Structures are given as structure tokens and as C-alpha cells.
Amino acid sequence: MGNLVFIGAGDSRRDPVELFLDFENAQPQTDEEREIYDTIAKVLDQSPTVLQKLANYTGCEEFIRKAITNPSSETEDEAWNAVLPAVEQLKEFYDFSSELENCFPKLLTALCQDDPKTNLEKRQALAKQFADVFDFVLRFDDLKMLNPAIQNDFSYYRRTLNRMKLSKKHHGEITIKDELANRMSLFFAYPTPMMNVINETTSNFLSQNQSVPQDNLTTALYLMASVCEDMVTNKRFDNDATNMFCLRCMTGAIILYDHLDTHGAFSKKSNIPIKACITILKTFKSESGQEMSTDGLLNALRFTTVHLNDPETPSNIKMLLE
């Protein structure tokens, strides 16, 4: 039995839609779904390791500071030797974003080519993976925003690389050269690089794939956001981690919807119950009493959406996110 979720423009909540996404137990139901699921899982199974490495990334600040304030062959070599493995780790993050970029369209096709509600309901394992992508993206970007060492290390690497090109010093040790370094620099320049990859990948997918109408994709996104909000508000899951998972999925779906839809996620014409979504982010309390902050998700809505400050956005919605 599904949730009776009311879908409508803004927060008027017309049109009841019965849909429950069993994120805790969903498994592929057909061979076709299993094939797609296994392909996506090969990528998503790496995400916990990526997040752990990012969380443990300490950077090379001390070595770089010494090389800048007390330049010598010794301090510069020490800084370079510290930055090299750090940048190789940053390349792992960039490479994983490329894997996401390659696999995400497979989910978009499987869930949005035909009726999105039916697909979400019948292909719940793929719907869970769709949510997994948003969960990872929001986690990654939150960690990245809190770690200025990533930008500082890579900036120092590029400056040093340019100097070494002139002197040809350490040339044999340089594996991340200009073209790749430029692409990585563009990736890490975004405050929320993984969400930017998802936004751009989806936009490119829609422009190149006529078999998936944009309306189907935005329908899938507002259904995901609405159902996740409803499941948390109505306490359909007892597990705190599952509820936070739902909130990250909800937030990611809102952000992507806002980038794709002409009117965005915040206007009265949006099908997303945006007031309810923001409210649950602001009022969410852990069932176990464990501290679980949603500040990063609220900031994601504030700073990575494009339509929040539009004149058409109701003032009460803007005030909720002030």
C-alpha cells in the first residue's frame, strides 16, 4: 500500500497520488531492471569510499605555507612531494564524477522514458538508486564546501606545474598535466561540483535524447521530492539514517527540478510542495535524539538553486530560507 500523496501547484496539494518508495527493502523485480541495477551499482558501490576519503582529506596547508613564506629548494620540494599524492586523490574524486556522468542517464531513461509514476512504483530498486545519487551528491558537496584545503592544494599544484614546465624540473613525476588539470580545476571551482555534474549531465541528456520528454523528468523529480517529504513528515521510517536519506533525496530532486523547469521549484506554478519541503528540513528531529543537522541541505536550497530569488517566488517562501 502506498502513501496518498497530494500533488499540486505550489502548496495547494491537489490531485492525490498513491506512491510509497520502500528505500529500505527495494530489490530489482525483473531481469531488465536487474541488468540496469547492476550496472549502476558498480558505480554507486564506490561512493562510501569516496566520501570517506573526502572526509579524511586534510590537505597540505603547512607544507604550502612554508614553501611560500620561506621559499627554498628544500621547502618547495617538501610541498611538492606532499601535494602530489593529495592531487592524485583529488583526481579520484574527479574520475568518480565522470563515472556518475556516464551512468546517470541510464537511470533517467529507465525511470522517465515512459510514465514516471508507474516506473517509480514498479522499478523501486532503480528509484532507490536515483535517490542514492542525490544522497551521495549532497554528502560530497557538503564535505567539499567545508574543506578549503581542496582548492588551495590544487591551486598550488597548478602554479607549481606552470613553473616546472619552464624549468622541466620533476617532469617525469607529473601525471596530471595541463588538459586534465584544466578540467579538474573547472570541476573543483564550483562550490557544489557533484550537483553541477548532475545538472549538466541531465541538461545534456535532454538535449540529445528525444525519447525522454522533459515533462516526464520533472514529473519524476517532483514525485520523488513530494513522496520523500511525505514519508518523513508522516514518519513512515523509524530509522534516522533512512529519514536523512529521504531528506537528501528530496533536496537533490528540488535542486535538479529548479535547474530544469522554466518556472523553477519555488513558484506557485511548481508541482513541488516547496513550503512543506522547507518546513520539514527546518523542523526535522531525530527519533533517537541523535544530533542530525539539516543545515547543509537548507544551504543547498539557498545557494545552488537558480530561481529562489525570482520575483515570482512568494515572499513567504523566501522568508522561510532567510
DSSP 119-164: HHHH-HHHHHHHHHHHHHHHHHHHHHHT-THHHHHHHHHHHHHHHH
Q: How far, in Å, are 66, 249, 313 from residue 138 at the CA level?
A: 34, 8, 24
Task: Divide the 322 residues of the chain into consecutive groups of 10 and give the mean pLDDT of each group.
Answer: 50 61 94 96 97 96 93 90 93 97 96 94 96 98 94 92 71 75 93 96 93 94 95 91 96 97 93 94 82 89 94 93 88
The pLDDT score that the predictor gives to residue 17 is: 62
| pLDDT for the residue numbered 152 | 94
- pLDDT of res. 175: 78
Intra-chain end-to-end CA distance of the chain, in Å: 38
3-state DSSP helix/strand/coil % of the chain, to nearest 5: 65, 0, 30
pLDDT of res. 14: 46
Q: Supply the Cα-derived Rg of the chain in whole angstroms.
A: 22
Phi then psi dihedrals of residue 17, to 5 deg: -130, 125
| Three-state SS at 18 | strand
Contacts by 294-297 with C-beta closer than 8 Å and gap 24+?
294/244, 294/247, 296/138, 296/142, 296/145, 297/138, 297/247, 297/248, 297/251
Q: Can you tell me which residue has the cell 520502500?
A: 22
Query: What residue type is assigned to position 169 of the chain?
Result: K
Check residue 209 and give its pLDDT.
Answer: 85
pLDDT of residue 313: 92
- In 3D space, the residue among 181, 178, 201 whose CA is nearest the CA of residue 189 turns out to be 181
Half-sphere exposure at residue 21, Cβ-oriented, CA atoms within 13 angstroms = 34
What is residue 39's predicted lDDT score, i.e. its pLDDT? 96
Residue 175 neighbours by CB distance under 10 Å: 10
What is the pairing mode between strands 16-18 and 4-6? antiparallel
Q: What is the pLDDT of residue 177?
A: 83
Task: Give the burial string for 289-304 (b: 16+ CB within 10 Å, else e).
Answer: eeeeebebbbbbbeeb
Full-model pTM: 0.92
Instruction: Classify 17 as helix, strand or coil.
Output: strand
Any residues with CB less than 8 A from the CB of 121 and at least 6 apart, and which?
2, 19
Element (H, E) at 256: helix 240-260
